[in-house]
Structure 1
Amino acid sequence: MRTGWVSLSLAALLGAGLISGCQSTTYGGATHSSRSQFLMVPSAEVNQSAALAYNKELTKAREAGTLNTNKAYVARVNAISRRLIAQVGVFRPDALSWPWQVNVFQSDEVNAFCMPGGKIGVYSGLIDKLKLTDDELAAVLGHEISHALREHSREQMSQEVAKQEGLSIVGALAGLSGGAIDLANVASKFVFTLPFSRTMESEADIMGLELMARAGYNPEAAVDVWRKMEQLGKSGAELLSTHPSSATRIQDLQSHLPQVMPLYEAAKNKYRSTP
């Protein structure tokens, strides 16, 4: 994908007071999903560019006749997404007012995403090949939404900007500057191409676990998703990978179930008669 990023310099960002420095993008919730993050690329720039890229993908899929072609899948994904989005205020209240969008792409790819600012996409292959239940689909969507809430793409881009400038984090925050940065290349790498770090993937797993529990979906289903992924052969080895292995993810998810099961028990009756 290509986005509408402009070239910015670190000096310009510093001069405009746009570097956020070290902070957390979210409150912790019951699972304490919070961590100090290095954020020097403006959130507004990230979200705007992600929205442009998302619209390009919609246009491409529409022209190919692969956008929202399965009405049953579209209804399921939208219903589950609405319930999850209703809970995001626990972690960051401003996300409740994001211009959320949800679409389903007809594709054999076993994947889903949530771009910065709340742009959700689900590939039909994810549902078809894994035979996902609603609870399991909620686990996947909760995970992807959590990446957006934590602004993991913005965090990775910020790290890359500092690296390209040849500055340490301390130097960047002290006001040192370098040459111009092509954020278009950074965006294409870190939003759409390269995987998130192990830490980010683990954060999204656990925050997503809490989101789905609060939305009345059984968090135990998150474990089932990764067991299915293992069977499909998509997990890969943890060594030489930036992602945790499926075995590690399952163990981590199981260790957090005691924190979120009471949330699920409190919420499930509310949604008993809804998808």
Structure 2
Amino acid sequence: MRRNNKVRNVLSPVLASAVVAAVATAAWSSSAHSQRLGDLLGSAKKVAQAATVTDEQMVTYFSQMSDEMDRQNQIAPAKNPYAVRLAKLTAGLPSYDGLDLDIKAYLVNDINAFAMGDGTVRVYSGLMDKFTDDEVRCVIGHEIGHVKLQHGQKRLRRALQQDAALSVAGTASSGARRFTSSELGGLIQNVLSAQHSQAAETASDDYALTFMTNKGYPQQACPAAMDKLAALGGGGGIGLLKTHPDPAQRAKRMRAKIKS
């Protein structure tokens, strides 16, 4: 109950600000004023609705996004060499840090990987072609870091607040909404395909180093993976380079951290 009161206290200034802004337009005609007031209150309402989405609903939204990604990309069958290799290098990793994991390979020739708030982890075959087992493990740890540090969750909540087409009206009491394929495409673009901030990358890199230590994997695989990304950077079209900062600088920083 304390949590709900806190949410209401935070949101009431948002609604109040919308009303004040509408009143300031009183010089307009009454019809224009009414329309403006409705638009502002509607926007404030969407912010309020997105802010009150529960953790369980967020997981459901991530699951919908994961299903959409799986629909768009071919998952390696269990006996496929990529699936066999990934199963071996992630043996003993059904969960980590309280997150149940569903780790699979995409048969996609891109150097990329991602994780979502429902525990989905997908590693692209193009990345597996270039990286050693331990380097793949570091990438997985890094992507789990984005989930555990709430980076994707914050992006999803922001997308729900900002896009009028993604109204979550009624979900607070009646469960998670089902998004259309086109809406899921927009969410995926905002949550998975956008450039990460330097602060988020640094935090996830640190998380990956801790992940490697906790699982008994060599930390040096992390800067080694960044070195490979830096060397491949001239080719263009690499997923991890589109969404992550300069890998050479990240490798330098991680080596310094490992030595410290």
Asked if TM exceeds 0.5, the reply is: yes
Rg (Cα) greater in structure: 2
**RMSD, aligned CA:** 3.1
Aligned partners of 1:81, 1:235: CA distance in 2, in Å?
A: 29
CA contact (8 A) 1:110 1:124 kept: yes
Match of 1:144 in 2: 143
Aligned partners of 1:220, 1:116: CA distance in 2, in Å?
A: 27
- Paired amino acid for 2:253: D
CA contact (8 A) 1:235 1:245 kept: no
Aligned partners of 1:235, 1:255: CA distance in 2, in Å?
A: 28
Structure scoring higher RCO (CA < 8 A, sep ≥ 6) equals 1
Between Structure 1 and Structure 2, the one with more helix by share is 2
Q: Is 1:114–2:115 an aligned residue pair?
A: yes
CA contact (8 A) 2:147 2:153 kept: no
SS at match of 1:9: helix
Aligned partners of 1:136, 1:78: CA distance in 2, in Å?
A: 15
Instruction: For structure 1, list consecutive stretches of 5 or more residues without a partner in the other structure.
Output: 1-6, 19-40, 166-178, 260-275
- Paired amino acid for 2:143: E
TM-score for both structures, normalised by structure 2: 0.64
Match of 1:10 in 2: 47
Q: Is 1:72–2:81 an aligned residue pair?
A: yes
Match of 1:250 in 2: 251
Question: Matched residues, percent identical?
Answer: 24
Deviation at 1:120, TM superposition (A): 0.8
Aligned partners of 2:65, 2:243: CA distance in 1, in Å?
A: 25
What aligned pairs does 1:1-275 form with structure 2 within 5 A after superposition?
A: 9-12=46-49, 18=52, 42-61=54-73, 67-68=76-77, 71-84=80-93, 86=95, 88-89=96-97, 93=98, 95=99, 98=100, 100-128=101-129, 130=130, 132-159=131-158, 164=162, 182=167, 184=183, 187-233=187-233, 243-258=244-259
TM-score for both structures, normalised by structure 1: 0.61
Aligned partners of 1:117, 1:125: CA distance in 2, in Å?
A: 24
CA contact (8 A) 1:9 1:180 kept: no
Instruction: For structure 2, list consecutive stretches of 5 or more residues without a partner in the other structure.
Output: 1-42, 169-182, 237-241
CA deviation string 1:67-90 (max 9, x = no partner): 33763321332343344555x33x
SS at match of 2:245: coil
- Paired amino acid for 1:52: Q
Aligned partners of 1:115, 1:135: CA distance in 2, in Å?
A: 21
Deviation at 1:198, TM superposition (A): 1.5
SS at match of 2:123: strand
The structure-2 alpha-carbon separation of the partners of 1:182 and 1:195, relative to structure 1 and needing over 3 Å to count, comes to farther
Match of 2:27 in 1: none
Using the TM superposition, name which of 200-209 and 243-252 deviates more. 243-252
Deviation at 1:211, TM superposition (A): 0.3
Aligned partners of 2:221, 2:134: CA distance in 1, in Å?
A: 6
- Paired amino acid for 1:144: E
CA contact (8 A) 1:135 1:217 kept: yes
Deviation at 1:104, TM superposition (A): 0.9
